[in-house]
Amino acid sequence: MEDFDALDVIARTRGKVDMDGRPTEDYLFLLWGTLAAVFYGLEFLCWQVFRAEWCCWLWVFIPLIGVPWMVILLKKEYAQTHMRTRDSRIVLDYWIFAAASFAVTGFVFDGFGVHALYALPLMGLLMGIGAFITGEVLRFRPMIVGGLVGAAIGMGSFLLRGDLWIWQSLAVAVVAVVSMVIPTLFFNKHVKDGI
């Protein structure tokens, strides 16, 4: 019969929890940032070519593609770690709030014809703030800076009105790249190189 050493079990368990609590590569940020950059950039380009209302609805493909993909990634991650930390719950709660805000403002503002004035700058601002919060939780400076720059671009895009309103789509694409895609690539490289 094996000797049972409680201190050894505690030490091994604590080591596993410490390892599970370390940040891993962030594919969700890359997923959502890339989808936002591609579809808002495509929206901008399609408007330049076709000048049709359907161009402004390309953003709908972001959740249609992103949500199923996200569910698959979250299930895979949870199957590997079997845990959620307090910090990861805070970040996930913010992004759930932001995604709901994106959807509501997208449909409501498009329905009332004010899409060009408020929805896109608000989305850019929320993406930047979310990246900043995530960077603070991870204590990862490139994401903090990217979030601040993204929030500034989002706020600045409120000034794009009149004939310039379509440039707000391009601003959101730039926010996605600056605050989500580029910092996530740096973060993933940082994790692979060893924290």
pLDDT in tens, 89-143: 777 788 878 878 777 776 776 666 555 567 889 889 999 999 999 999 889 999 9
Would you say residue 30 lies in a domain? yes
Tell me whether residue 132 is in a domain.
yes
In a domain, 130, yes or no: yes
CA-atom Rg of the chain in angstroms = 20
The confidence score (pLDDT) of residue 114 equals: 54
Residue 44 lies in a domain: yes
- Virtual CA dihedral for 79, 91, 85, 141, nearest 10 degrees? 110
Give the single-character DSSP code of 177.
Answer: I
Task: Return the pLDDT at 14.
Answer: 46
One-letter amino acid at 178 equals V
Q: Would you say residue 187 has pLDDT above 50?
A: yes
Identify the pLDDT of residue 76: 79
The percent of residues in the chain predicted with pLDDT above 90, rounded, is 41
Q: In this structure, is residue 111 part of a structural domain?
A: yes
Residue/partner pairs of 16-23 with CB below 8 Å, 24 or more apart: 17/83, 20/81, 20/82, 20/83, 21/85, 22/195, 23/138, 23/187, 23/191, 23/195
Say if 1 falls within a structural domain: no
Q: Cα–Cα distance between 121 and 105 in angstroms, integer? A: 11
Residue 58 is part of which domain span? 6-193
Summarised one tens digit per residue, pLDDT across range 32-50 is 999 999 999 999 999 999 9
| Total count of domains within the chain | 1
- For residue 150, the number of C-alpha atoms closer than 13 Å in the C-beta half-sphere is 35
Q: Which whole number is the average pLDDT over 54-60?
A: 87
- Specify the DSSP element, H or E, that contains 1: none
What's the rounded Cα separation, in Å, for the pair 38 and 143? 20
The length of the chain is 195
Residue 74 in any domain: the answer is yes
Q: What is the pTM of this model?
A: 0.81
So what's the pLDDT on residue 22? 45
101 occurs within a structural domain:
yes
